[in-house]
Amino acid sequence: MSATEDKMKDLNQQWYHAVVTGLDVDPETFQLAQGSTSLGGYTSQEIWDFLDVIPPATVNNYYQPGGLNRFSNVYGGVINNLNSQTDDAMKKLLKDKYVKWTQYRQDESKDPKSGEYKEDYSDFQLVKFSKWARNNVDKDIQTSGETILKQVDIVSVAVDKWFSANGKYAYTATANSLQASLNAGVSKSIQMDSETESTSTSNTWAKGSMEISQGFFSTKVSADWEKLTNSIDKESIQIKADFKQFTVLPASPLSTNAGLIEELQDYSPWYESEALLLAKNHNDKKVWRDRVPSWSDVFGSNGSLKRVITGLAFVDGISITLKLKVDIEDKHKDEFAASIKGGYFPFFSAEGEGGWVHETNFKDNGEVTITSTSQLGNPNIIGFIVKPFDEVYS
């Protein structure tokens, strides 16, 4: 680990400890959000993009949309790799025409506006089969097939819901519910002194494991960037952060139409917990097809689905004062100030993004005071509520 990485690891551990204390959140479930976490357009889709991340086993997480595992992708891979619970009976009944039926069923399922049977996914499959059977098999086979499909097949239900969502994987939290939650939120303050703040994060759910991917500044403005970072005395950093609103917004994958708020009326439920539990609890060929992903790929010791995000912690109306000791030559002060405007520890948000404004004040005694503000109406994600898969879906 380089000197810069070592310095940033200590600072991030101290900041995590200060955040947990100041916000009074549980280190057994809290993961610190770092990087640029301001909500841009403040839309429901933005919120869902965060909720859909499968979090790594670290106490902090730099959100990078293109490089993270997605719950919706893993879930879709699982349910589409399960054997239908009525497959054997339908195969025996339809014989050579079984493949044509399954292809028709999949094509029909892709339509998210499928008429009056959209609400009931068991009837959805049954109506599709009846429509197909009228033109492809005799009446007796149609009747037998309908009898088979009247049995509850949770795998087919899940696959129908998945395709009906048409790639739009909504969650129960929305932009409006976030605003309501923020309006009912409370003010909070965080204080950190690097001379006295603990660096211990061993009592967290991630056992202190930490991701270090940034220095003190968000951007490298010159070849002297690391020198500027290393010139900061990590033992003399003081932070005071005040938040006018703090709230934790719980959420889960959209699984039912019942009681949907207006914002979700145009989105089809896509998640079926019983199908995922069927997959989790049966590591055998009767349930799983012999292809990727396997049970071990998803639920094994190194599987892709160990943890899930069950909520997002938001702060809004932010005011930060950061004081530090740093030896900066006059010729580098403009460069240092420009680096601050590009974003810096611990929020890393550039000026202008999310309403952020940064000011740097140099003092003759070698101290630098940085003040940053983000006005109300620009919520920032400060953390994720992370829980083991088995605890949430059991």
In this prediction, residue 118 has a pLDDT band, given cuts at 50, 70 and 90, of very low
Rounded to whole angstroms, the Cα distance separating 167 from 163 reads: 7
CB atoms closer than 10 angstroms to residue 296: 11
Of 81-95, 155-169, 173-187, the least confident:
81-95
Sort strands 60-62 and 356-362 into parallel, antiparallel or unpaired. unpaired
In this prediction, residue 119 has a pLDDT band, given cuts at 50, 70 and 90, of very low
pTM above 0.75, yes or no: yes
Q: Can you give the pLDDT at residue 258?
A: 66
When comparing pLDDT for 230 and 197, which is higher? Answer: 197
The alpha carbon of residue 74 and the mean position of all alpha carbons in its chain are separated, in whole angstroms, by: 13
User: What one-character-per-residue DSSP string does 83-135 give?
Assistant: PPTTHHHHHHHHGGGHHHHHHHHHHHHT-S--GGGGG-HHHHHHHHHHHHHTT
Q: Can you give the pLDDT at residue 261?
A: 80
Q: Can you give the pLDDT at residue 20?
A: 95
Mean pLDDT of 177-197: 95
Going through the chain in order, the beta strands assigned E by DSSP cover: 30-34, 60-62, 186-193, 232-250, 307-326, 356-362, 367-374, 380-388
Rounded to whole angstroms, the Cα distance separating 119 from 376 reads: 39
Q: Can you give the pLDDT at residue 265?
A: 86
Q: Can you give the pLDDT at residue 108?
A: 66
Of 48-52, 83-87, 329-333, the least confident:
83-87
Q: Can you give the pLDDT at residue 292?
A: 92
Per-residue pLDDT at 1 exceeds 80: no
Q: Can you give the pLDDT at residue 379?
A: 93
Can you tell me whether residue 47 is helix, strand or coil? helix
Q: Can you give the pLDDT at residue 232?
A: 75
pLDDT mean across residues, the chain = 86
User: What one-character-per-residue DSSP string does 156-170 give?
Assistant: HHHHHHHHHTTT---
Q: Can you give the pLDDT at residue 381?
A: 93
Of 56-70, 245-259, 316-330, the least confident:
56-70
Copy the structure tokens of residue 65.
């949309």
Express each pLDDT in 260-304 by its tens digit.
Answer: 788 898 899 999 998 999 999 999 988 899 889 999 999 999 999
Q: Can you give the pLDDT at residue 66?
A: 62
Per-residue pLDDT at 374 exceeds 90: yes
Per-residue pLDDT at 171 exceeds 90: yes
Q: Can you give the pLDDT at residue 120?
A: 46
**Segment of 166-170, 186-190, 234-238 carrying the highest mean pLDDT:** 186-190
Mean pLDDT of 139-150: 85
Of 109-113, 180-184, 298-302, the least confident:
109-113
